[in-house]
Chain A
Amino acid sequence: MLLIRCPHCGPRNQDEFAYGGDATVKRPADPASASDSEWHAYIYVRDNPRGPHEELWHHAAGCRRWIRVRRDTLSHRILATGPVHGPLAEEEGR
């Protein structure tokens, strides 16, 4: 069970959140001129790291805001959390 620190609400149970996937993928800046391979990279290809992973979570049963979480996919330890576009605050003492 994860305890996820929502930057707006504080630490909350994982059950309150919905997962939103890899936070590092970027939609092509100019969709009209993006090539198939650029769309392919954005839509389908992932780093899928075994270790720290930047990801989006939706605090669906809380403030209903999206947040950004850096979590280790091997240990499940949450390393840092923050707003989607803001700086991440490191988790301390865990």
Chain B
Amino acid sequence: MVKYSIFSLLRNAVSNHENWPEAWRSPTPKPAYDVVIIGGGGHGLATAYYLAKEHGITNVAVIEKGYLGGGNTGRNTTIVRSNYILEANAHFYEFSLKLWEGLSADLNFNVMLSQRGVLNLAHTDADIDAHSRRGNAMRLNGIDAEFLNREQVKAFVPLLDCSENARYPIMGGLLQRRGGTARHDAVAWGYARAADARGVDIIQNCAVTGIRREGRRVVGVETERGFIAAKKVGIAVAGNSGVVAGMAGLRLPIETHVLQALVSEPVKPVLDCVVTSGAVHFYISQSDKGELVMGGDLDFCNSYAQRGNFPAIEHVIRSAVALFPSFSRLRMLRLWAGIMDMSMDGSPIISKTPLDNFYVNCGWCYGGFKATPGSGWMFAYTIAKDEPHPINAPLSLDRYISGRVYDEKGQGPTPWAH
């Protein structure tokens, strides 16, 4: 692997950038691997990277049906945060955020982490109570959180409508300054390049069509390029978790739902943090290119369609204009959708399964992007040691049998409402 640095940049500038080596190989799959990871998004690639880096397991293949980061890794709104109440989630996401903070140096790839702050707006007295409680829970877990009053919110985000007669009156907000955004594609590419450099085979455009089992053991995967034997198989396939786990004969506490996002035409810098509103069901940030990136709710019915529906778009636009009246004349540039693996308690699953050597990484709901480094690290640990790390032990599949679920909202098993 050529180290990216000011010197390699200068050297390649001399040759008009025509001689950069490929960032990762496109190898022919070997007949057998120690570990096969299904899914070449951020989570799968990070898992392969940490298997190689932390556990010395380099005879690993990542098998991706499309291209790297073409699923939810390239479809999210790039927000990074760790503002959770429940301990299992708080410790996991904080572990992940700490990995983010050193990720560009670790991967020798600029993931463009920008800790510009994530602000959750409070619109009612009840919101103030809930956000204060969340902030206190975060601080007790050693995570940064500050409650801003209305004047402070107004100073922090001048374009917000903080007037008395706003459609959604703003009474304050909970700010996590260490939260922010990162470049989503760079995360997939950085992990791919670093994993490849340690010997991991990344196999793109190769759908897994079946999982071969002998009793309680998985012996390998059927793919479009033939059978690949594996001592261990892990899946990190987001919205397709139910379909792929079904190939191994498992049913999961997961429903697949579609979530949309949209971006405006690029404008000059106007918004230098992430603003979210749980009450309005809306969030927005500005990309480095200048586009305002925004999203809202799921479409509220099971869906594998990677495209959106108009009611959700209308809601997002209505919310954007209500909170930021000055955005009313922006034109929307494009919209897209990804399919979410909504778990039954709204918390993720990084777990062993009833099969001996088959592992699942799913249930990311709409928060998978920020989890990428932590998810890969914990999944690699779980696969390598055949037991979970203390941090992801609570996020197991069998918590749904024992009843020890982690439901941040207290919503119950209605996955489209988490």
A→B interface (CB under 8 Å): 1-2, 14-15, 18-19, 21-22, 36-37, 40, 43-50, 53, 55, 71, 73-76
Q: Is the CB of B305 within 8 A of A46?
A: no
Known contacts A44-B400, A46-B253, A75-B305; 6 additional CB pairs below 8 A are A1-B309, A19-B300, A21-B414, A22-B302, A37-B401, A43-B413
User: Given contacts A44-B344, A75-B305, is CB(A21)–CB(B416) below 8 Å?
Assistant: yes
Q: Is the CB of B416 within 8 A of A46?
A: no
Q: Is the CB of A48 within 8 A of B252?
A: yes
Q: Is the CB of B302 within 8 A of A44?
A: no
Q: Report the separation of the CA atoms of residues A53 and B309 in the bound assembly, to the nearest whole angstrom.
A: 18
Q: Is the CB of A74 within 8 A of B301?
A: no
Residues 242-269 of B contacting A (Cβ, < 8 Å): 242-243, 251-256
Q: Which residue in B254, B311, B344 is a CB contact (below 8 Å) of A43? A: B344
Q: Which residue in B254, B400, B414 is a CB contact (below 8 Å) of A40? A: B400
Q: Is the CB of A46 within 8 A of B255?
A: yes
Given the complex, which residues of B lie within 8 Å of A55, measured CB to CB? 301-302
Residues 353-395 of B contacting A (Cβ, < 8 Å): none
The residue in A44, A48, A50 that gathers the most chain B C-beta atoms within 10 A of its C-beta is: A48
Q: Is the CB of B242 within 8 A of A48?
A: yes
Tell me whether B149 is interfacial, beta carbon within 8 Å.
no
State the 6 A-B residue pairs at the shortest beta-carbon distance, nearest first: A48-B242, A44-B253, A44-B400, A44-B344, A50-B304, A19-B301
Q: Is the CB of A14 within 8 A of B311?
A: yes
Given the complex, which residues of B lie within 8 Å of A15, measured CB to CB? 311
Tell me whether B209 is interfacial, beta carbon within 8 Å.
no
Residues of B within 8 Å of A, CB-based: how many? 25
Separation in Å of the A6 CB from the closest CB of chain B? 15
The residue in B252, B304, B309, B413 that gathers the most chain A C-beta atoms within 10 A of its C-beta is: B304
A-B contact pairs, 24 of them (CB 8 A): A1-B310, A14-B309, A19-B300, A21-B414, A21-B416, A22-B255, A22-B302, A36-B401, A43-B413, A44-B400, A45-B251, A45-B252, A45-B400, A46-B242, A46-B254, A47-B242, A55-B302, A71-B301, A73-B302, A73-B303, A73-B305, A74-B304, A74-B305, A75-B305
B→A interface (CB under 8 Å): 240, 242-243, 251-256, 300-305, 309-311, 344, 400-402, 413-414, 416
Given the complex, which residues of A lie within 8 Å of B304, measured CB to CB? 50, 73-74
Q: Report the separation of the CA atoms of residues A72 and B97 in the bound assembly, to the nearest whole angstrom.
A: 38
Q: Report the separation of the CA atoms of residues A53 and B242 in the bound assembly, to the nearest whole angstrom.
A: 13
Given the complex, which residues of B lie within 8 Å of A21, measured CB to CB? 255, 302, 414, 416
Separation in Å of the B207 CB from the closest CB of chain A? 13
Separation in Å of the B252 CB from the closest CB of chain A? 7
Q: Report the separation of the CA atoms of residues A47 and B251 in the bound assembly, to the nearest whole angstrom.
A: 6
Q: Report the separation of the CA atoms of residues A43 and B413 in the bound assembly, to the nearest whole angstrom.
A: 7
Given the complex, which residues of B lie within 8 Å of A1, measured CB to CB? 309-311
Given the complex, which residues of A lie within 8 Å of B252, measured CB to CB? 45-46, 48
Q: Report the separation of the CA atoms of residues A49 and B304 in the bound assembly, to the nearest whole angstrom.
A: 9
Closest to A42 in B: B413
Separation in Å of the B139 CB from the closest CB of chain A? 32
User: Given contacts A1-B311, A14-B311, A44-B344, is CB(A76)–CB(B253) below 8 Å?
Assistant: no
Q: Is the CB of B401 within 8 A of A50?
A: no
Q: Is the CB of B305 within 8 A of A19?
A: no
Q: Report the separation of the CA atoms of residues A47 and B256 in the bound assembly, to the nearest whole angstrom.
A: 10
Q: Is the CB of B302 within 8 A of A53?
A: yes
User: Given contacts A1-B310, A45-B251, is CB(A40)–CB(B401) below 8 Å?
Assistant: yes
Given the complex, which residues of A lie within 8 Å of B309, measured CB to CB? 1-2, 14, 76
Q: Report the separation of the CA atoms of residues A19 and B256 in the bound assembly, to the nearest whole angstrom.
A: 14
Separation in Å of the A15 CB from the closest CB of chain B? 6
Given the complex, which residues of B lie within 8 Å of A14, measured CB to CB? 309, 311
Q: Which residue in A36, A43, A44, A76 is a CB contact (below 8 Å) of B303? A: A76
Q: Is the CB of B305 within 8 A of A76?
A: yes
Q: Report the separation of the CA atoms of residues A10 and B238 in the bound assembly, to the nearest whole angstrom.
A: 36
Given the complex, which residues of A lie within 8 Å of B310, measured CB to CB? 1
Separation in Å of the A34 CB from the closest CB of chain B? 13
Q: Is the CB of A46 within 8 A of B251?
A: yes
Closest to B245 in A: A48
Q: Which residue in B254, B300, B301, B413 is a CB contact (below 8 Å) of A48? A: B254
Q: Is the CB of A45 within 8 A of B253?
A: yes
Separation in Å of the A63 CB from the closest CB of chain B? 19
Q: Report the separation of the CA atoms of residues A18 and B417 in the bound assembly, to the nearest whole angstrom.
A: 11
Closest to B398 in A: A40
Closest to A47 in B: B251
Separation in Å of the B289 CB from the closest CB of chain A? 30
Closest to B302 in A: A73
Q: Report the separation of the CA atoms of residues A2 and B299 in the bound assembly, to the nearest whole angstrom.
A: 11
Q: Report the separation of the CA atoms of residues A43 and B402 in the bound assembly, to the nearest whole angstrom.
A: 12
